[in-house]
Amino acid sequence: MQNLNTQPSHPFFLKPLLAGGLMFAIVGLLFDFQGVQALLSPSKPVSAQECETIVQAKARLSRETLAQLLAIPERDTKERVRQVVSEPYCQLPELNVRSGVVAEREAYPLEFDPKTRLVILYENDEYAGYRFDFHQ
């Protein structure tokens, strides 16, 4: 006759191990460990996308100005770009894009889409390009 009440040979070891693993997985899913670490850190470093200096708080780019800017070729002078776009809303932290070259960045919010801004890159007072920043 077979015994129907068969149990694993280590019942006291298996259940706590499974329960502990399950609890660890749940806690891991509920908490963002990087977010917790950021809350515990004493100071927040300046993001590369945050304004370092506000230059002209009312600066905005219209569609027409944006179209004029996009017609300017790369490696033209910073002065030529400034004739079109005027002063920026803010300056972003400088970047080292390649060895030995420090790049300046200026941000211009778009008049027709305030959550988007155009970031212009300059290297040695030359226009080096642009990108759109959609996450403000």
Condensed to tens digits (0 to 9), the pLDDT of residues 54-91 reads 999 999 999 999 999 999 999 999 999 999 999 999 99
Which ranges constitute the DSSP H helices of 60-136?
A: 63-70, 78-85
Position 36 pLDDT exceeds 70: no
d(CA 96, CA 128): 13
Q: Give, as one character, the DSSP assignment of residue 40.
A: H
The pLDDT-based confidence of 127 (bands split at 50, 70, 90) is very high
Better-scored residue on pLDDT, 28 or 122:
122
Closest CA to 133 of 46, 49, 47: 49
Q: Which has the higher per-residue pLDDT, 86 or 42?
A: 86
Cβ distance 119 to 100 under 8 Å? no
Q: Which fold has domain 53-133?
A: Beta-lactamase Inhibitory Protein; Chain:B, domain 1 (3.30.1450)
DSSP class of residue 51?
-
Greater pLDDT, 53 or 2? 53
pLDDT averaged over the chain?
A: 79
Residues 90-112 have pLDDT tens digits of 999 998 877 788 899 999 999 99
Would you kindly state where each structural domain of the chain is located, as residue ranges?
Answer: 11-40, 53-133
